[in-house]
Structure 1
Amino acid sequence: MTRYLAATQVQERFQISRSTLYRWQVCQTVAFPRPVKIGHRILWREADLTAFDEKLATSGTT
């Protein structure tokens, strides 16, 4: 089963502010995973965030 995270959970996971989260979404060089809309909620797939985490670990940048 796919697990989804809300914006506040994503912020906690990456220790970033809400404005940084939105900035990462629009910045193409960051290549942050795109959220999905389920009902009225905007969520991120945990698997996509894990892949992004791994990419950060190998590149060493945020």
Structure 2
Amino acid sequence: MASTISVPEPDDFLPARRVWERYGVTQMTLWRWLHDDKMRFPQPVYFGRRRYFRLSDIESWERQRITDSGAGVPQ
């Protein structure tokens, strides 16, 4: 019986490089965000040795950051 390798769909997952490019940060900054409990940055999913981030988790984190900052909320 042949085994199959599951490959993430490009629209559902972002590789780590695309995440740090999205925010204009370095790989080290992304590592710090992942280890900073206050940031609550989404944790990656591993496919083999590669890290991917669920796009839905990233977008949810972005919305939460806006809500937490109070941006767009009338005073």
- Higher helix residue share: 1
The count of corresponding residues between Structure 1 and Structure 2 is 60
Give % identity.
30
Q: How does 1:12-51 map to 2 (within 5 A)?
A: 12-51=21-60
Return the structure number with greater relative CO, CA threshold 8 A, min gap 6.
1
Superposition RMSD on alpha carbons, in Å? 1.5
Q: Which has the larger radius of gyration?
A: 2
- Gaps in structure 1 of 5+ consecutive residues: none
For structure 2, the 5+ residue unaligned runs are 1-8, 70-75
Q: Deviations over 1:1-39 (max 9, x none)?
A: 661111110011122111110000000010000001112
Amino acid at match of 1:35: P
